[in-house]
């Protein structure tokens, strides 16, 4: 039998259902469960060429730093990026399912899945993960950024954020998620409304400086967020999404911008 369209339904038809939530009765209560690995912080802003999206590299379990090279900004297809905060194991599985779902649709339907279709696919995965999120052991609140090639010459960068039930919302200029987001959301609003240059008017360098400064500020106040690690030369992950596709900013680029515009001393 041939299957067309939904990759998740294809998996279920072949008894390959994605089991994101654990079997009944296997969930430990919050008082006695182990310390689960979590990842924060991610932020995305629109700039004049599209969307720039960045994330720190730290993964924590309770007060312990488990890993300092985590990838939280994941390319899904040529024009889609998923930035994750929360449980990496669940988020990475969602990213893999999304990637294969988009590929399956492209090959079976000989066309790209619409942006609305991509958003609904991610909503479905988040909704199916709700039992774990309610237990506090597997919540994922991602940011989904895309470039819309059908924008008719205008800036096609779009940013969407989700709640734990899978509802998605489009953000006009910026979005941030994770434990460090509380410290930088207000800064983003201030910069966008009263700064010398609005977010949408920034060039790539200005937008990169803004992202690195925001993550550095978050790392000062949130122990689960890391900024630049000078010992290991670990920088946040930063990607741009434009009409030309997705591009990773190199370590050399980030190092130069960080030394010139972030790690500076100001005498007040």
The H-or-E segment that residue 254 falls in is helix 251-257
Q: Spell out the residues 6+ positions from residue 225 whose beta carbon is closer than 8 angstroms to its own.
A: 40, 41, 56, 58, 178, 179, 180, 215, 218, 219
Catalytic (active site) residue 225: no
The CB-based long-range contact list for 70-74 (8 Å cut-off, 24+ gap) reads 70/39, 71/237, 72/39, 72/42, 72/237, 73/42, 73/237, 73/238, 73/239
Q: Choose among 144, 116, 126: nearest CA to 53.
A: 144
Instruction: Pick the catalytic residue from 29, 40, 237, 264.
Output: 40
Would you call 109 helix, strand, or coil by DSSP? helix
CA torsion sign for 210, 215, 219, 221 is positive
Look at residue 229 and give its three-state secondary structure: strand
3-state helix, strand, coil in the chain (%, to 5): 35, 25, 40
Give catalytic residues, as residue numbers.
Answer: 40
């Amino acid at each position: 039998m041939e299957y067309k369209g939904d990759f998740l339904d294809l998996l279920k038809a072949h008894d390959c259902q994605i089991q994101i939530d654990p079997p009944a009765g296997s969930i430990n209560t919050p008082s006695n469960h182990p310390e689960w690995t979590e990842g924060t912080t991610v932020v995305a802003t629109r700039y004049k060429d599209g969307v720039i999206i960045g994330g720190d590299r730290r993964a924590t379990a309770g007060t312990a730093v488990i890993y300092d090279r985590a990838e939280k900004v994941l390319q899904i297809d040529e024009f889609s990026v998923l930035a994750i905060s929360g449980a990496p194991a669940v988020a990475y599985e969602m990213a893999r399912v999304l990637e294969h779902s988009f590929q399956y649709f492209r090959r079976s339907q000989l066309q790209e899945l619409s942006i609305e279709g991509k958003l609904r696919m991610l909503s479905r995965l988040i909704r199916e993960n709700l039992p774990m999120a309610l237990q506090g052991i597997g919540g994922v609140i991602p940011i989904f950024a895309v470039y819309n090639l059908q924008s008719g010459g205008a800036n096609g960068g779009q940013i969407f954020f989700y709640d734990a039930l899978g509802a998605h919302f489009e953000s006009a200029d910026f979005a941030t998620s994770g434990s460090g987001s509380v410290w930088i959301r207000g800064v983003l609003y201030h910069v966008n409304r009263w700064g010398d240059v609005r977010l949408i008017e920034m060039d790539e360098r200005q937008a990169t400086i803004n992202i690195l400064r925001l993550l550095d500020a978050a790392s000062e106040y949130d122990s689960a967020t890391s900024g630049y690690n000078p010992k290991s030369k670990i920088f946040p992950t930063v990607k741009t999404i434009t009409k030309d596709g997705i591009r990773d900013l190199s370590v050399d680029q980030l190092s130069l911008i960080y030394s010139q515009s972030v790690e500076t001393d100001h005498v007040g």
